[in-house]
Chains A and B, each alone.
Chain A
Amino acid sequence: MHEEWSHTLLQSDPMRFYRAKRDRLHQAVTSKYTILGFISSGTYGRVYKAQSLEPDGQIHAIKKFKPDKEGDVVTYTGISQSAIREIALNREMSHENVVALKEVILEDKSIYMVFEYAEHDFLQVIHHYSQTLRIQIASQVLKSLIYQLLNGLVYLHSAHILHRDLKPANILITASGVVKIGDLGLARLIYQPLQPLFAGDKVVVTIWYRAPELLLGAKHYNKAVDCWAIGCVFAELASLRPIFKGDEAKLDSKKNVPFQRDQLLKIFEVLGTPTEKDWSGLKDMPEYQNMKRLDTYPNRLAEWCQTRIRSQQGYDLIRQLFAYDPDKRLTAKEALAHKWFQEDLRPTRNVFFPVSAHHLPPQRRITQDEAPSMMGMPAPTQAQTLSQVPLGHGQAQGQHLSQQSQLNLSQQSKPGSTASFGSVSGGAVGSFSGGQGGSARKKPRIG
């Protein structure tokens, strides 16, 4: 007798027991953390501030990934490539200057990455200095910020990881003044590329921080793109505004990558038009012909640095980070060994060490309106299904996780609604939208 129904069940819901066991053992996010508030909404997810329910009561940042969507329809297509990358790389990493992943919780179709909490980030610091204090960042602080940033990047690069999205918003600082590189959502292991890097993501790096070889359409690129971005971040900390604030040319309807004329011009205005003497591979760049049609400019970097960086060595470092030829650009390791860091005043482990208390950047603002929505509707406990639903027939399929959540997705995902589980439509703007918030800070992504 039993053969028949068990056979039916094995076919209709082959993973029933496994699921029941797993759901029974699962520890819900809310059983481990109290959500204190909502921090920010990015390209791939929303970030919340949370407190561990363990006795230590540690504070964390929990990043909840948005589900992938295709067009306007939310089709549940599994874990995004970006989340897989970020998870895979973060699980392997451990370095003082890279944000630490504490755990990952997979629940109800959502991925929650629990990170150590960082009270500040570079964008916020820039904003604080430019809007509130209205002074420059002291050069020792600047040096410490760049030093620790480079130190984290040396680690990533020695592990053959390209970050590919270094920009002020992705570089965090803890309350005790330690720099933490964050957001490895675009990062990639280049050690054993199975495909040329270009094949995966046609566009990388937020436009203002994008290296010239990428802007000129290079199919092959390397760690040097991160070093360029660090040059941009350095300049932005020094001047409190993006150094190359170009407008991004949008993808056309055929999703061809357009020529980034404006961004290149912004770079040329400061660094001068590149020549083959600077960069022997220049004429082989796919966009070389387009580039030649642009007006030419002289190099004005020294002048630019005079008031902003106020150190010959500092200027020398940035100059070498802005080498047009990726092969001549300083590597992270070389940059870290640069004389500027040996010159007084030296970098400090607490980057805020020389900053007086009333000049410290404020704590990260959090908002409450989005906080309760993080978890969506409580799901029925899956452990029950086994004992409650009589075995046999088709209803075995009826109750479990995916259907339940599907319901949530389709019925309750209006942005801003209390149960915006899976709210994918961008929804709320983060509490902090630094003076330069706009679309250029968003990662353009296709493919």
Chain B
Amino acid sequence: MATDFWASSHYKRWIVDRGTLKESRSDDLQYVDDPEYLDFFAIFFANVITKLGKKLNFRQRVIATAIVFFRRFYIKNSYCETDPFIVIAACCYVAGKAEESPVHIKNMVAEARLFFSQQPYGVKYFPSDNSKLAEMEFYLVADLECDLTVFHPYRTLLSICKKESSNDLQTEAGEVGVGVDDGPRYWGSGDGQLELPDDAFQLAWSIVNDTYRSDLCLLYPPHLLAITALYLAVVLHGPTRELLQQQSHSVEATPVHSSPRRSSRQSSSTSLGHAKKPSQDFVAFFADLNISMPLVATIAQEIISLYTLWERYLEDSDLVDSARGTFYGHASAQTQSGGSHSGVSTPVESLDDAQKPHGATPTFLLQVLTRMRENKLSDMAHASSGRPVAVNKMLERTQAAG
């Protein structure tokens, strides 16, 4: 049933374990020098999809669905055997239809061709013929086993924070809650609400956006990703963190901070800079959700590792709705995160060069990909001509060297 996550194709067929993911990369691993490049691919291609999606005026959820389709596709296929750009176009094309935001095939082809032909991609071969995309769509839908209904963390985020389909809040940072009504929860027990200042909520939203740059959407149910994002936002959002700290020493802290009794109206304009002080006990809130907190901690770790990796990924990006800056920017960047000022441009270069490990750029990753595919191709060709692959490979390398 389309709104019951536990009965959904998403839950039943598309939450996989690490072992399965590793298995799915085994072919690629034979053709890549450093396994880490494959993690960079995850960031790189999610960025490509996000940017193409924006060109198509897709809403955040449509982009997220396209990325999930892409990830599911690569559970079953390898990069070295496919052309990710055609796959991306097909993912966007199908996601548009699956999310009731269809794009005409002609526009899809035109946009994709134009976008991919630009730097840094420089893909000149993207077919102008509609039928090529239509053909890929067919294979894609078959590989997706026709499971086209995808759940996302956004809904949980909204229902926990009870944000209405707000117009005021989000225009800049994307999509918060456009047309999303908060339905019944399909997880946990309580139906508690978390009161978060808008910018902390926006931070959580941006963290959710960022999770799509890894395989997290294949590993965990979306509501857990949402809760982890909220958890991280509470911890990382300056003013909210202060509150959290106050709560943990509430006995001493309360009298110090509360100003002598004035009218509540006045105090709201002075204190903390953020609205009426939410007197919410965050710790109790998370405990009441009745979900596994150790699991949330694990996911939080994985999100942090993603940001650590991403730090070494160099792309002058115009992605506005990422929380990336918050995780390795300076304190000053933190309060601004998520909004239009969000810190994608924040200081990778400010890192101490000595401790900065080697990173990756789109151009470099594309070279890696091409090399993988060419090597795979040559192996396949020799395999199909009946000659033993390994020998041939060696032979070729010798020839190339000589």
Contact = CB atoms under 8 A, between A and B. Distances in A.
A84 B86 contact: no
A192 B165 CA distance: 11
B131 interface: yes
Contacts of A402: 131-132, 134-135
B8 interface: yes
A80 B378 CA distance: 37
Interface of A: 1-3, 6-7, 9-12, 14-15, 17-19, 21-22, 75-79, 81, 84, 87-89, 91-95, 104, 106, 109, 155, 158-161, 188-189, 191-195, 200, 386-387, 391, 401-402, 406
B112 interface: no
Given A18-B77, A91-B9, A78 B1 contact: no
B141 A21 contact: no
B17 interface: no
B271 interface: no
Nearest to A191: B3
Contact of B101 (A22, A191, A195): A195
12 contacts: A17-B82, A21-B81, A76-B130, A79-B141, A91-B146, A92-B2, A104-B146, A161-B2, A194-B62, A195-B100, A401-B135, A402-B131
A9 B373 CA distance: 11
Given A84-B148, A158-B1, 16 more contacts: A14-B82, A14-B86, A17-B81, A18-B77, A79-B97, A88-B98, A89-B149, A93-B1, A106-B139, A191-B183, A192-B179, A193-B179, A194-B62, A391-B381, A401-B135, A402-B131
B2 A89 contact: yes
Among B8, B131, B178, B384, chain A packs the most CB atoms within 10 A around the CB of: B131
Given A92-B9, A194-B178, A2 B1 contact: no
A75 B109 CA distance: 14
Interface string B133-157: 1111111011101111100000100
Given A79-B97, A79-B141, A106-B142, A2 B378 contact: yes
Given A89-B2, A189-B2, A195-B179, A6 B131 contact: no
Nearest to A200: B100
A92 B8 contact: yes
Given A18-B82, A391-B381, A7 B374 contact: yes
User: Which of A76, A78, A387 neighbours the largest number of chain B CB atoms within 10 Å of its CB?
Assistant: A78
B82 A11 contact: no
B122 to A, nearest CB: 12
Interface string B22-63: 000000000000000000000000000000000000010110
A191 B135 contact: no
Contacts of A92: 1-2, 7-9, 149
Given A6-B374, A14-B83, A159 B2 contact: yes
Contacts of A75: 130
B201 interface: no
B179 A15 contact: no
Contacts of B98: 84, 88
Given A76-B134, A88-B98, A17 B181 contact: no
Contacts of A109: 134-135, 138
B172 interface: no
A76 B370 CA distance: 30
Nearest to A88: B148
